[in-house]
Structure 1
Amino acid sequence: MRFRTAPPGRGEPPNAEDAPGWVTGAIPDGWFIERPEIVIDRDEIIIWGRLAEPELGADATDADRAAARAGRINQFREDTREARMRVARQIEYRYQRKVAWGVRAGDTNELFTHLAAPVMTRLRQPERQILDTLVDAGVARSRSEALAWCVKLVGQHSDQWLTDLRQAMTKVDELRKQGPAAG
């Protein structure tokens, strides 16, 4: 069965609350050793799966383990390419979001081709000066790259706060759906 890309819509893409279950059901059995992690935003769905750790002898070095994991990830990517593309087309049609795949083997994570969405913002001079300093210092090649660097840095240093905020937003959404109790 062929799936076409959904026509571009206006506003928000369709609700994806059921996406983790749907995506998990669409993935062929045996690909991953545990249930995949599905990360969703307005633009993209990322499917993270864990691969079995390569079997190495007790005398294996850290470099051996890193090379074995890289080989395992590469082989998975090549062996499943067509099937992953087929599943991704179905997901993209159903949820009107791009799909990316990522795999984990041990402590190695690799995210395959994924979306880089443009974000427009207006900044006042003090904020622009921060970005220009990063560009002038060679930390970034452009204001856009400097802003992306800042966002990554904030994400790394405020991970728990962002997790708590997302959980609170989820609770607000649940309460909003329930509505006030009829008296």
Structure 2
Amino acid sequence: MRHHHMNSPGFGRPGGWQQAHVPDAGDATEWFAGRLPDDWFTGPATVEVDREEITVVGELPAPDDTSAAAVDGRISRFRESTRPDRMRIADEAEARYGRKVAWGATVGERHVLFTHLAVPVMTRLRQPERKVLDTLVDAGVARSRADALKWAVRLAGQHSEEWLTELREAMKKVDDLRSEGPQI
């Protein structure tokens, strides 16, 4: 018997794809732009939001010596010297948006994420899907089924980014229309 769960709080997601009880983070980019020290990055930080996490990545000024070691040193210096401030800002953002904050830095082509969530995703795969993952593992493309799944999701995301963007915009429009409609 499962039906007794239907009315318990937190079951399902009112509003379809929007997660229940997670504050809206639509203004996170603006909030971080106002909150981050002006001298941290060469321009505005890139702020990415999903249901669990906000990722904040900024471009650092390149060192005169652009060797890999010098660039890694620059990123490491930023990471260490800003840690207490980053933790304080992350706590404020988590209180405001109900999500963890991950930080990263970029120097030229080098991108480093300092901390980020690996959110476990429950999935039930039938044999044909498991065979695909096992083929990727057997071929050495991935170290494990989890890695293979991550690889497949990234690939799908890259090849359908335009479609996914359209889908997100359409979902937002439905949410806006729903909120403007009669309250029943």
What secondary structure, in the 3-state scheme, does the structure 1 residue paired with 2:103 have?
strand
Q: What is the CA-CA distance between 1:94 and the residue it aligns to?
A: 1.6
C-alpha change, 1:140 and 1:22, in structure 2 (3 Å) is same
TM-score by length of 2: 0.76
Q: Does the 8 Å CA contact 1:12/1:42 hold for their aligned counterparts?
A: no
Unmatched tracts of structure 1, length 5 or more: 1-8, 57-63
Aligned CA distance change for structure 1 residues 123 and 22 (closer, same or farther; 3 Å): same
After TM superposition, give the deviation of residue 81 of structure 1 in Å: 0.8
Opposite residue 33 of structure 2, the aligned amino acid is T
Amino acid at match of 1:23: F
SS class of match (1:154): helix
User: Is the alpha carbon distance of 1:172 and 1:69 closer, same or farther for their aligned partners in structure 2, counting shifts above 3 Å?
Assistant: farther
The 3 A distance-change label for structure 1 pair 142 and 55 is: closer
* Residue in structure 1 matched with residue 91 of structure 2 by the alignment: 89
CA distance 1:106–1:142, shift in 2 (3 Å): closer
What is the TM-score normalised by the length of structure 1?
0.77
In the TM superposition, what whole-angstrom CA distance separates every residue of 1:1-26 from its partner, at most 9, and x where no partner exists?
xxxxxxxx954411112222222222
2:47 equivalent among 35, 38, 41: 38
CA distance in 1, matches of 2:101, 2:109: 23
Which one of the candidate residues 116, 139, 145 is aligned to 2:141?
Answer: 139
| CA RMSD, Structure 1 to Structure 2 (Å) | 2.4
Counterpart of 1:29 (choices 15, 18, 38) is 38
Distance 1:27 1:19 in 2: 12
- Fraction of identical pairs, as percent: 58
Instruction: State the number of aligned residues.
Output: 165
Distance 1:125-1:105 versus aligned 2 partners, 3 A rule: same
Q: Which moved more, 1:32-41 or 1:129-138?
A: 129-138
Match of 2:113 in 1: 111
Query: Aligned equivalents of 2:45 and 2:21: distance in 1?
Result: 25
List per-residue Cα deviations over 1:42-94 (Å, max 9, x = no partner).
000001111122235xxxxxxx4433322211111111011101111111122
Q: State the partner residue of 1:50.
A: 59
Extract unaligned runs of 5+ from structure 2: 1-8, 11-19
In 2, the alpha carbon distance for the partners of 1:156 and 1:67 equals 30
**Which has the higher mean CA deviation after the structures are superposed, 68-77 or 134-143?**
134-143
Q: Which residue of 2 aligns with 1:71?
A: 73
Which letter maps to 1:100? A
Partner residue of 1:153?
155
- Where 2:104 maps in the other structure, the secondary structure is strand
